[in-house]
Amino acid sequence: MENLSTIERILAAKQSLPGALLPILHDIQDALGYIPPDAVPSIARALNLSRAEVHGVITYYHYFRQTPPGRHVVRVCRAEACQSVGCEALATHVQSALACEFHATSADGDLTLEAVYCLGHCAVGPNIQIDETTLHARMTPEKFDRLLAELRSKP
Amino acid sequence: MSTTFYIPCDSTALALGADAVARSIVTESAQRQLDVTIVRNGSRGLFWLEPMIEVVTPRGRIAYGPVAATDIPSLLDAGLLTGGAHALCLGPVEDIPYLKRQQRISLRRVGVTDPLSVEDYLAHGGTLGLHRALGMTEVEIVKEVTDSGLRGRGGAAFPTGIKWNTVLNASALQKYIVCNADEGDSGTFSDRMLMEGDPFQLIEGMAIAALAVGATQGYIYVRSEYPHAIAALNAAVIKATQNGWLGDSLLGTGKRFHLEVRKAAGAYVCGEETALLESLEGRRGIVRAKPPLPAISGLFGQPTVINNVITFASVPDILAQGAAAYQSFGSGRSRGTLPFQLTGNIKQGGLVEVPFGLTLRELLYDFGGGSLSGRPLRAVQVGGPLGAYMPESQFDTVLDYEAFAAVNAVLGHGGIVAFDDTVDMLKQARYAMEFCAIESCGKCTPCRIGSTRGVEVIDRLKADRPGQIELLRDLCDTLQNGSLCAMGSMTPYPVLSALNHFPEDFSRRQT
């Protein structure tokens, strides 16, 4: 199992950090795109925790996911500052454009749609984030459609 | 001779296309055989003008904005390299009124320097505070911070010096410095701008805090929604260590302070200090009961200074310039400056660092220029998702902690979200409850259950069921007085302020 060797490598590197669980979970998600259920026993063993404790932490935090995401992750900010400039209309449009709800992946597996409560660009909303570091401000339904076509045309 | 351009690497500027602008300048000037040097600075915080580029000329730094990549050829034609006239030219950057009217202390280097340049940092007064602190006793450093009147900038406004003194007087083998960089409030970005635009200042402030209380290990807990800030901090920690601002011997004095950046994972409640500490320890971010205070029993049960980014970032200047200089700014018991963040439906959104004492109206209209949509401003939420919605009749409230408390509002972290007259305040009140329901850590019943009941009551109110307003008030009273932390106890601020100041959005459904 390629995943398991990745997980063992991460555990070996991080397990002795004080408060190691979140750094470990981040590294696993960064490497694999999600935290596979079969990682939980290994993590629990390495940190001398119960599997329930590890599961509890993974499921508590919005950022961690337990299933593989689509090829791209689209995060739409739905917090107050973006609400004041129409993010709810944008959110409705994005859901219909992807034909999926928030916290779900489009049927073709291309895009996972997530809501986020503030990306910190509140003077130029509505804001969205594609994958981990690409940001787009002043998003409109028209701009989103262009962006989507671009994302889908890339291999 | 090479001409120097400043193009922001701030993530808001990136979201508006700053990288494409930088690429266009490189390719266009190469084609024209022009010799240019590009420095990526932080943002000045004039976000409606981003991407704002600056060119260094004998007349100083001349700004242009908002610049699109496609504007570069015409800008170069107009003599961009010498600060030539163009429709996008804003003149010398320091003379732009929005900037000129500010008093930048904690963000004074942001937008001016290359965030990761050690030379820039030193040339603009960096490490002066640390140098002075290294020559002082622990008690003297704490006294300086206490005398400055600095209060926690995360929102609760607790006097920083008193907190540090508690940690100083606690005896333990290990003490910690923790920076709360979980800036989750909508309408705030001053922490992000500082971390991306001047990370060394935060590091220096934390190092001074470590000297003040005798701590040797620190953590910066940054939200996962801020990948650019995390990258900047990680790079800055490495450079700071190489330069002896962190590590086993601070500036060669033998005093030790190590710092590590930790990534959060999207739980809003982890902005609450005890939940943050739980998260740092590797657990679910569940709020702890206080006492004991984190200053007595914090991270891993040890005495811990936990402060917000801007609080730590204010400290180097307080040490360098002295407490009296900082104390001389402000209003009433609110001393110094606060970086306000003008956001939402506002024409000139951005960062405004000013001393306490201006009015909300001055910020909204003199700086902000009114609404972005051109419609009247109807409600302004100050202090994040747990802050009150303020109507036009309260716009003359003076921006200081006590004046806001007097009108049942909170200044919080200085985030200001403007809404025009299309806003439905019942919907905003419902959102506040819904947000609390999603983000509640679940430890205390009023917050965990009350928030869900709140959504239901507001839905019934919307459906014209009688008696719901009374129920909603009663529920808010329970939340406010029975919750363990600010998540539950402050959710009533947006709900009740919406109800009290905008009854027409509720009552037409009740009569």
Contacts with A80 from chain B: Cβ below 8 Å: 186-187, 344, 381, 385, 417, 428, 431
| Per-residue pLDDT band at A4 (split at 50, 70, 90) | confident
Is residue A93 assigned to a domain?
yes
Of A60, A83, A106, the domain-final residue: A60
The reply to whether B297 falls in a domain is: yes
Whole-angstrom Cα distance, residue A45 to residue A38?
12
With a pLDDT cut of 70, the percent of chain B lying above it is 99
**Rounded to 5 degrees, what angle do the CA atoms B266, A148, A104 make?**
45
CATH of the domain at B65: 3.40.30.10
The verdict on a CB contact (< 8 Å) between A82 and B282 is no
Same domain, A48 and A116: no
Q: Give DSSP secondary structure letters for B57-124.
A: ETTEEEEE-SPPGGGHHHHHHTTGGGT---TTEEEEGGG-HHHHT---STTSSTTTS-TT-HHHHHHT
Q: Looking at the domain assignment, is residue A120 inside a domain?
A: yes
**Residue range of the domain that includes A128:** 72-153
pLDDT tens per residue, range A143-153 = 999 999 999 88
- Does one domain contain both B403 and B494? no
Closest residue by Cα to residue B285 from B485, B489, B483: B485
In terms of domains, do B392 and B465 share one?
Answer: no
pLDDT average, residue stretch B255-270? 97
For A123-132, the pLDDT digits (tens) are 999 999 999 8
Examine residue B107 and state whether it is found in any structural domain, yes or no.
no
Judge if B271 and B299 occupy the same domain.
yes
Identify whether the C-beta of residue B15 lies closer than 8 Å to the C-beta of residue A137: yes
Average pLDDT over residues B147-168: 96
Q: State the CATH number of the domain containing residue B390.
A: 3.10.20.600
Is residue B277 one of the residues assigned to a domain?
yes
> Chain A residue closest to B420 (CA)?
A84
B287 and B403 assigned to the same domain: no
Q: For residue A52, what is the domain's CATH number?
A: 1.10.10
Domain-located, residue B241: yes
> A43: part of which helix (H) or strand (E)?
helix A40-47
Q: A134 and A103 in one domain?
A: yes
Mind listing the pLDDT tens digit for each residue in B275-334? Answer: 999 999 999 999 999 999 999 999 999 999 999 999 999 999 999 999 999 999 998 999
Exposure string of A61-79, with b = 16+ CB inside 10 Å and e = fewer, is bbbbbeeebbbbbbbbbbb
Q: Residue B31: how many CB atoms within 10 A of its CB?
A: 10
Q: Which residues contact B374 (CB under 8 A, 6 or more apart)?
A: none
Q: What is the DSSP string of B207-225?
A: HHHHHHHT--EEEEEE-TT
- Across chain A, mean pLDDT equals 95
Q: Does B344 touch chain A (CB under 8 A)?
A: yes
Domain closes at, from B295, B327, B359: B327
Distance from CA of B104 to the nearest CA of A (A): 19
pLDDT in tens, B226-248: 999 999 999 999 999 999 999 99
Output the pLDDT for position A2: 72
Is A103 part of a structural domain of the chain?
yes
The three-class DSSP label of residue B236 is: helix
Q: How far does the CA of residue B461 sit from the closest CA of chain A (Å)?
A: 22
pLDDT on residue B123: 98
Q: Please indicate, yes or no, whether residues A148 and A81 belong to a single structural domain of this protein.
A: yes
Is B496 inside a domain boundary?
A: yes
The residues in B 75-134 lying below 8 A from A, measured between CB atoms, are none
- Tell me whether residue A67 is in a domain: no
Is A66 within the bounds of a domain? no
**Surface of B (171-190) touching A: CB under 8 A:** 183-189
The predicted structure's pLDDT at residue B202: 98
Which residues in chain A have Cβ-Cβ distances shorter than 8 Å to B349? 122-124
Residue B305's contacts (CB-CB under 8 Å, 6 or more residues apart) are B163, B164, B167, B175, B176, B177, B178, B209, B213, B215, B295
Query: CB distance B15–A118 less than 8 Å?
Result: no
- A20, A63, A64 member nearest B282 (Cβ): A20
Interval B477-495 mean pLDDT? 97
B259 interface with A at CB cutoff 8 Å: no
Q: Name the nearest CA neighbour of B65 among B7, B107, B119, B115.
A: B7
Q: Tell me, yes or no, whether A47 and A97 share the same domain.
A: no
Across the interface, whether the CB atoms of B15 and A135 are under 8 A apart is answered: yes
A78 and A44 part of one domain: no
Residue with tokens 């998702």: B385
- For chain A, state the CA radius of gyration: 18
B379 and B444 part of one domain: no
- Answer yes or no: do B181 and B267 share one domain: yes
**What's the gap in Å between the CA of A60 and the closest CA on chain B?**
6
Residue A54 lies inside a defined structural domain of this protein: yes
Q: Which residue of B has its CA nearest to A75?
A: B225
Per-residue pLDDT of B46-96, as tens digits, reads 999 999 999 999 999 999 999 999 999 999 999 999 999 999 999 999 999
Confidence of residue A155 (pLDDT cuts 50, 70, 90): low
Residue B511 confidence (pLDDT): 45
- Chain A residues within 8 Å of chain B (Cβ atoms): 18-23, 25-26, 47, 53, 56-57, 60-64, 77, 79-85, 116-125, 127, 129, 132-133, 135-138
Check whether residue A76 and residue A146 sit in a common domain. Answer: yes
Residues A25 and A93 in one domain: no
B111 in any annotated domain: no
Smallest Cβ–Cβ distance between A62 and the set B186, B267, B381 belongs to: B267
Whether B205 and B290 share a structural domain? yes
Give the model's pLDDT for residue B491: 98
Same domain, A36 and A104: no
Does B350 reach chain A within 8 Å, measured CB to CB?
yes
Residue B346 within a domain: yes
For residue B228, list chain A residues with Cβ-Cβ distance below 8 A.
133
Residue of A58, A118, A147 best to disrupt the B interface, most CBs of B under 10 A: A118
| CB-based contact, B300 to chain A, within 8 Å | yes
For B428, name the nearest residue in chain A, comparing CA atoms only: A80
Which residue, B373, B401, B420, sits at the end of a domain? Answer: B420
Same domain, B162 and B244: yes
Last residue of a domain, one of B312, B327, B342: B327
Domain count of the fold of chain A = 2
The beta-carbon neighbor of A81 closest among B186, B284, B300 is B186
Q: Which residues of B touch A57 (CB under 8 A)?
A: 282-284
Residue B170 sits in the same domain as residue B259 = yes
- What confidence tens digit (pLDDT) does each residue in B372-406 have? 999 999 999 999 999 999 999 999 999 999 999 99
Residues 30-59 of B with CB under 8 A from A: 47-48, 50
Check if the interface score ipTM surpasses 0.95.
yes
A96 and A27 in one domain? no
Query: By CA distance, what is A118's nearest residue in B?
Result: B186
Instruction: Check CB contact under 8 Å for A132 and B227.
Output: yes
CATH number of domain containing B140: 3.40.50.11540
Number of domains in chain B: 4
Contact residues, chain A, for B343 at CB < 8 Å: 81, 122-123, 125
If phi > 0 it is left, if psi is from -120 to 50 it is alpha, else beta; for residue B164 that is alpha
pLDDT higher than 90, residue B1 = no
Contact A80 B187 (CB under 8 A): yes
Same-domain pairing of B75 and B92: yes
Range of the domain at B373: 330-420
How distant is the Cα of A64 from the closest Cα of chain B, in angstroms? 7
Q: How far apart are CA B322 and CA B345, in angstroms?
A: 39
Q: Tell me: do A109 and A141 sit in the same domain.
A: yes
Contacts of B163 (CB under 8 A, 6+ apart): B152, B295, B305, B307
- Whether residues A84 and A43 share a domain: the answer is no
Are residues A106 and A143 both part of a single domain?
yes
Whether A85 is in a domain gets the answer yes
Residues of A with CB below 8 A from B183's CB? 120
Residue B105 forms part of a structural domain: no
Confidence of residue B342 (pLDDT cuts 50, 70, 90): very high
Q: What is the CATH number of the domain that holds A85?
A: 3.40.30.10
Task: With CB atoms and an 8 Å threshold, state whether B187 touches A122.
Answer: yes
B323/B336 same-domain check: no
Tell me, yes or no, whether B155 and B290 share the same domain.
yes
Report how far residue B361's alpha carbon sits from residue B116's, in angstroms, rounded to the nearest whole number: 36
CA distances to B132, B139, B276, B324, B355 from B162, in Å: 21, 12, 21, 17, 22
A-B C-beta contacts closer than 8 Å = 147
Q: Does B197 touch chain A (CB under 8 A)?
A: no
Q: A62, B279: Cβ pair inside 8 Å?
A: no
pLDDT above 90 for B508: no
